[in-house]
A and B are shown apart, each in its own frame.
Chain A
Amino acid sequence: DGGITQSPKYLFRKEGQNVTLSCEQNLNHDAMYWYRQDPGQGLRLIYYSQIVNDFQKGDIAEGYSVSREKKESFPLTVTSAQKNPTAFYLCASSHDNGTGANVLTFGAGSRLTVL
């Protein structure tokens, strides 16, 4: 079955540590995205990538970094510079079918807690 796999599902981090969240898709989608969700709130865009080796900052990129070395993979690193990293992180992908209707397919999410 095609889909998006995020790992780990739960992650605990001490203050001052960097952590990397994995996102892998086998949907052959061109675009990939990282969103952050805080309790009772909507999704805020962190980074997105339309093609391999290219990515753009979203609305809340500070304290985060990404790479897109392979079409299938878009890992997110939460650095120690992120002041309030405790949140639910969602990875998504979409296929550009030329109509601009970029429907997103989401992973199951990774919940990061800073101790």
Chain B
Amino acid sequence: SQQGEEDPQALSIQEGENATMNCSYKTSINNLQWYRQNSGRGLVHLILIRSNEREKHSGRLRVTLDTSKKSSSLLITASRAADTASYFCASRAGGYNKLIFGAGTRLAVHP
């Protein structure tokens, strides 16, 4: 079962534009994480937001969390071609140390 569902499934933008990806989850969480995956590679952790936080920044990344709506968003500002990748949200559900991933958003940034 998937805890998180990303929206949109695919996003295509020009360099310099902002990219916004959304994630919805089903059960109560302690924290929500975002990961990035370049094609054919492993995932890389980007940012973690705890359930008692509403917004967090890291460089060009901004994550928001709305626990009342069970949703989160990832904003990448001033996108670059190198940002082209798939982005996944992940949250802990059920047992300890068990992260559940959504299906991801495929972002394409065109020069």
List residues of chain A with CB under 8 Å of any chain B CB: 4, 31, 33, 35, 40-45, 48, 50, 56, 58-59, 88, 90, 92, 94, 96, 100-109, 111
Contacts and interface: CB of A to CB of B under 8 A. Distances in A.
The bracket for how many chain B residues form the interface is 20 to 34
A107 B42 contact: yes
Contact of A100 (B30, B44, B88): B30
Given A50-B96, A59-B1, A101-B50, 4 more contacts: A42-B102, A45-B99, A90-B42, A106-B43
B100 interface: yes
| Chain B binding surface SS class | strand
A45 B22 CA distance: 22
Given A45-B98, A50-B96, A100-B31, A108 B41 contact: yes
**B1, B2, B40, B97 — most chain A CB neighbours (10 Å):** B97
Contact of B42 (A56, A96, A106): A106
A45 B45 contact: no
Contacts of B45: 103-105
A40 B102 CA distance: 11
Nearest to B33: A103
B57 to A, nearest CB: 17
Nearest to A105: B45
B88 A42 contact: yes
A50 B45 CA distance: 20
Contacts of A103: 33, 45, 48
